[in-house]
Amino acid sequence: MSFSFDLLNKCSGTNARRGRIHTGRGEINTPVFMPVGTQGTVKAMTPDMLHQLDVEIILGNTYHLYLRPGHKLVKELGGLHKFIGWDRPLLTDSGGFQVYSLGSLRKISEEGVRFQSHIDGSYHFLSPESSISIQEDLGADIIMCFDECPPYPATYDYVETSLDMTLRWAKRCKSAKKNDGSALFGIIQGGMFEDLRRRSAEETKEIGFDGYALGGLSVGETKPLMYNMVEATVPFMPEDKPRYLMGVGTPEDLVENIARGIDMFDCVMPTRNARNGSLFTSSGKLVIKNSRYERDDLPVDEKCACYTCRNFSRAYLRHLFMAKEILSSTLNTIHNLHYYLNLMREIRSAIEENRFAQYKKEFYALRDAGIEQL
């Protein structure tokens, strides 16, 4: 398998680290943000647009692709990369979080999860073995173990029982994996309990995976609690493997968790917010529908070099959004993804130059100073 991770730099004064993941389809520079392509598309974007933004890896969703169009069809047509026209690395999640999100539409047992499709109500069963098989049919470069994501809040006893099952499922996932072309990441659970997070990290590490993810965060807990859980867990994660915080998050979340030693992130926030007219800038969030932008000829962010900011005014973007034009989603998504990817580039440079702590201070100072201007 052509998968490896090089730890290139560590920044003094924080746990921030700079690395590089090697895959058969290209390199991934870390810290990295992965745009979410739930159903085989990063919404409102073409693969060429993603190339122009220098996206190195995108994420696909096992649950959604299993239901529609079906993993067997995708495999028959050459795999997910060929099916969606994407020639760079791909990560697929296991479907565990989506099944968790179904609530009353699913029933968990030792064997796996029986659930109803959100599309047509039909019944399906997903197990550790079938999750791995589906992901291998899709042909992702990085695949994830099937886990149970406990709800928040949850009792200690519930989370401990859930964690024990997730560990048993992780062993089954590793045994079920047959394709040497994919790297397999284990998922650390443990809810909001430091001792369970530590045990999960240690026992998942004992099973042995190509990378390690933190799951079960950003599920309704406060930001300080999420940061505490990351801080309590990272010391027990292998230093020589990628560390992935699943489903996170805001620009502040990325900065805070990179400071705590995380390498990889994904979140629907930049794309979903773009479609809702909420744009990320160096000074904070800008809501483009606000009437104050009706005659504003400035770009979204004067510090931004994206295609949208180079060519269009706030007034035009507001017009597109209010008129419900399709182009609104595209131009807003280009901007938001550029913002996230550029944030990662700046952070990687700051770590390489051993000035991440200063960068973090400047990041917050710029937002505090500029928020009134938006």
User: Residues with catalytic annotation?
Assistant: 93, 266
Please say whether the beta carbons of 145 and 170 come within 8 A: yes
Could you give the CA distance from residue 116 to residue 111 in angstroms, rounded to a whole number?
16
Please say whether the beta carbons of 184 and 174 come within 8 A: yes
CA geometry: angle 155, 220, 172, nearest 5 deg: 60
Structure tokens belonging to residue 352? 């390489």
Kind and range of the H or E run holding 9: strand 4-10
For 347-350, the CB contacts below 8 A with 24+ separation are 347/16, 347/31, 347/254, 347/255, 347/258, 348/18, 348/29, 348/30, 348/31, 350/11, 350/16
DSSP 232-296: HHGGGS-TTS-EEETTB--HHHHHHHHTTT--EEE-SHHHHHHHTTEEEETTEEEETTSGGGTT-
Please say whether the beta carbons of 217 and 246 come within 8 A: yes
Please, where are the H alpha helices in the chain? 47-52, 62-67, 71-76, 80-84, 96-101, 128-138, 156-176, 194-207, 223-233, 251-258, 269-275, 307-311, 314-322, 326-352, 356-370
